Amino acid sequence: MKARFFQLASSRSGATVLLVTLSLLTLFFGIGSLPFVGSDEPRYAEVAREMWVSSDYISPRLAGRLWLEKAPLLYWGQALFYSFFGPSELAARLPSALGALAIVLGIRAVARRALDERAALYVGIVAASMGMMIYLSHGASTDMTLCTMFSGAFLCLFRAAYSRKHGFAFSMASAAFVGGAMLAKGLIGPLLFLLVSGIWWSWARPDRREFKTSAPRAVFQRIGTFAAALAVFFAVSSVWYAPVWLRHGEFFWQEFFVNQHFKRFTSNEYKHPQAPTFYLAILPLCALPWTLWLFGAARGFRALRPKLSQRDAFLAFAWVWAIVPIAFFSASESKLPSYILPSFPAIAILAGEALSRGVFVPRRFKPRQIALGGAVFMALLVIGAFTIYAPRNEDKLSTRSLCRVVAAQMRPGELATFLDLGKEYDPVFYLQGRVVANDKPGRRDTFVAATPAELLPLLQKGSLVVFAKNEDAAKMEGNPAFSAQLLGVHRKIRAYRIEKK
């Protein structure tokens, strides 16, 4: 039965159906049911909602305040799906899930040509069921949009290097994807592309035959292709960078490039310090359940001869693609696990190819049994997480329930704010941006009062909703300057409506 199943899946259409079905279970399942987790998801979702409401797709805003920390590609995708599904978790996460699916199908399509049908299927299965890919396909964050553009750029570059008939078209597509990476997360996209492609091209030299046959002509062709690729890159990226620069000038340069690029890389201003070995330590966990086959792939690294075969060139490409982002971000002062997501499509290629050859597969098993077992296990894990764990622990993961209770009680024109809370952004989205923005220079996007006395100036315009820690209840309920009406209580925080006495 299993052998028959894999015979069916080995056909082009059968493999596509299998990978799409697996992806629906691992990459899509539950994306609309889980509340936003952490501070980034509700923040990005709200920026996109304000774009969608205002129809201003150039100037990102959070609670009405100009917010230029990230490039807009994720917001544009979220706003598009808001048009179909309304502002929701499903619409906010669909760009990430669809991007992950595009990666799975994309690397499988290129692997079919560089490896073979069977190995390509294993590569796709590994990509669709790898822990890091599953985790970030369920997140409304910029990391998966960057990874999608990054993967498209590399896959098209590889096809351009080995396609005589369509090489120019693939080169232009690669440049367009690099422009998309610039729109996804800024300079990191083109910078990593140049590093990876430069190292691989020097190693594999896919153009060596062309130069041998007609060196002058090949040189002019390369120059022309490079110039055209630059034009495509600038045409795509300037869709946003040109108008936002014209509109916001120096402020855009300082906030987007200086603060969010250079300071984030060279300093610990954003409070994400980790040891230089951080990514090497978490890599085995992020690559589960296929970590063993990544190590198995490493055994064949020294035997690669990328100048002699397209198969070896593809695997060499995957190694450079996997290593460079990890090495680059290991040098950064600011580290988060999601930063190395661009390496994982390449890791899937390496692990999937090694599994297809039977590396580390016990004699009593076959590679297809391991692949099917790992995929089913991860699919069941995702289904269990979203049908059993998440519903029972929603209040531990998010303050969505409290925010919805508060939103239903808010008066027209009434705003909300915070008392001595850290990165609490659920109310910003679930109250549809009706929070007090921070109008002073600083890292806070929304106004946060350190003491109840700082709330008094805001009461001049009427009542105010305040989110506070449960332990600060006495400060709110016993304050002589204002009356406090309890609107709702959560595990750690509660909400009041306060009015001046």
**54-96 tens-digit pLDDT:** 999 999 999 888 988 899 999 999 999 999 999 999 999 999 9
- Which of 369, 391, 413 is a domain's end point? 391
The number of distinct structural domains making up the chain is: 2
Say if 464 falls within a structural domain: yes
Are residue 405 and residue 299 in the same domain, yes or no?
Answer: no
Which whole number is the average pLDDT over 107-132? 94
Residue 269 confidence (pLDDT)? 56
Are residue 374 and residue 429 in the same domain, yes or no?
Answer: no
Are residue 7 and residue 128 in the same domain, yes or no?
Answer: yes
Say if 209 falls within a structural domain: no
Contacts of 259 (CB under 8 A, 6+ apart): 69, 269
Are residue 256 and residue 383 in the same domain, yes or no?
Answer: yes
State the Cα–Cα distance between residues 269 and 442, nearest whole angstrom.
12
Indicate the helix (H) or strand (E) that contains 494.
strand 493-500
Are residue 22 and residue 123 in the same domain, yes or no?
Answer: yes
> Is pLDDT above 90 for 2?
no
> Is pLDDT above 50 for 1?
no
Residue from 346, 335, 337 nearest 290 by CA: 346
Which whole number is the average pLDDT over 355-381? 91
Which whole number is the average pLDDT over 145-150? 96
Where does the pLDDT of residue 214 fall: very low under 50, low under 70, confident under 90, or very high at 90 and above? Answer: low
Say if 450 falls within a structural domain: yes
Question: What is the SS3 string spanning 345-370?
Answer: HHHHHHHHHHHHCCCCCCCCCCHHHH
Are residue 134 and residue 90 in the same domain, yes or no?
Answer: yes
User: Is the link from the previous residue into 289 a cis peptide, with omega within 30 of 0?
Assistant: yes
Where does the pLDDT of residue 11 fall: very low under 50, low under 70, confident under 90, or very high at 90 and above? Answer: low
Say if 29 falls within a structural domain: yes
Supply the range of the domain harboring residue 82. Answer: 2-141+252-391
Are residue 276 and residue 322 in the same domain, yes or no?
Answer: yes
Which whole number is the average pLDDT over 439-467? 86
Are residue 434 and residue 310 in the same domain, yes or no?
Answer: no
Indicate the helix (H) or strand (E) that contains 175.
helix 167-185
Are residue 19 and residue 121 in the same domain, yes or no?
Answer: yes
Kindly list the distances between the CA atom of residue 407 and the CA atoms of 394, 397, 446, 477, in Å, as whole numbers in the listed order. 18, 19, 17, 21
- At residue 190, what is the residue type? P
- Which of 333, 364, 391 is a domain's end point? 391
**251-293 tens-digit pLDDT:** 888 877 776 766 665 656 555 567 788 999 999 999 999 999 9
How many other CB atoms sit within 10 Å of the CB of residue 2? 11
Say if 99 falls within a structural domain: yes
Which whole number is the average pLDDT over 115-137? 95
- Which of 332, 364, 391 is a domain's end point? 391
Say if 319 falls within a structural domain: yes
Are residue 361 and residue 405 in the same domain, yes or no?
Answer: no
Say if 328 falls within a structural domain: yes
Say if 415 falls within a structural domain: yes
Are residue 54 and residue 135 in the same domain, yes or no?
Answer: yes
Q: Which segment of 126-130, 223-227, 431-435 scores lowest on mean pLDDT?
A: 223-227
Tell me the average pLDDT of the chain.
89
- DSSP notation for 266-302: H--TTS----TTHHHHHHHHHTTTSHHHHHHHHTTGG
Are residue 112 and residue 25 in the same domain, yes or no?
Answer: yes
